[in-house]
Amino acid sequence: MDYPDELAPAVRSILSAARERAGAAARAGDTASVSPRDLAAAFERAEADGRVPVIAEVKPTSPTTEGSREDDPVALAEGMVAGGAAALSVLTEPEHFGGSVDTLRRVREAVDVPVLRKDFVVEEAQLDAVESDVVLLIARFVGDDLPDLLAAARDRGFQVLVEVHDRDELERALDAGATTVGVNNRDLAELVVDLGTFESVAPHVPDEVTLIAESGIEGPTDARRMRAAGADALLVGSAIMDGDVEANTRELTRAEADEDADPTPRDATDTTETPT
């Protein structure tokens, strides 16, 4: 699909690079197939254990942060799981996020929780780069190709997280057959985060669909706010990667158990560029 002019320049650059990598993947001809670890079951185990279901993201860097984190991603992933993460997200986009398919392979071998491949998939060939338990499809980026890409991912054995930002994208995701939906609080036109985005979209998501809140969740107060709005799980990157990943993950997963320890709410709209 054509990239909308209103997308932020950084996002347009990411999508252009994704197109180029899609061509390389097609030439490689390496087909992925997987027996996935059950994401919904992982969320249920976390709930049964009194934890907020959190997908913790291993992300070395991003276009909206300064610097990068050089720690061994496997050690980071293990710390997140030790902190109670129900699942992990691993960036495989190399040019802008410092990720790689090799990192995902290493992380998935080292942990026993479901692993989401976080990348910008725009063509079917990209699905064949690496095994994961879950793949991400961003409704805004794949447009009318969403039903075909969703089916192609499922044919390979992947579970699929379809990301949306508004009600129109939600309807397209549901029409395509999405059963796991993430609402991104970041507006890709301005790279501004507003937690009210999730709150406006969540009431229109059917109860049988697993619903994930993405972006801008900076601490326990935000976690509780998203859960109160209907989030079955949270996808959190920067708030966990900034500092001690095990302690940060534990703080978020215990957000509901430790509610009295964090009484100060944050503003509904955050104009900082905190990545997912």
Among all residues, which ones are annotated catalytic?
57, 59, 118, 163, 184, 214-215
- Sign of the alpha-carbon dihedral angle for 52, 242, 37, 20: positive
Distance (Å, whole) CA 231 – CA 172: 20
Residues 37/113, Cβ–Cβ less than 8 Å: yes
Give the pairing of strands 233-236 and 54-58.
Answer: parallel
SS (H, E, C) the chain: CCCCCCCCHHHHHHHHHHHHHHHHHHHHCCCCCCCCCCHHHHHHHHHHCCCCCEEEEECCCCCCCCCCCCCCHHHHHHHHHHCCCCEEEEECCHHHHCCCHHHHHHHHHHCCCCEEEECCCCCHHHHHCCCCCEEEEEHHHHHHHHHHHHHHHHHCCCEEEEEECCHHHHHHHHHHCCCEEEEECEECCCCEEECHHHHHHHHHCCCCCEEEEECCCCCHHHHHHHHHCCCCEEEECHHHHCCCHHHHHHHHHCCCCCHHHCCCCCCCEECCCCCC
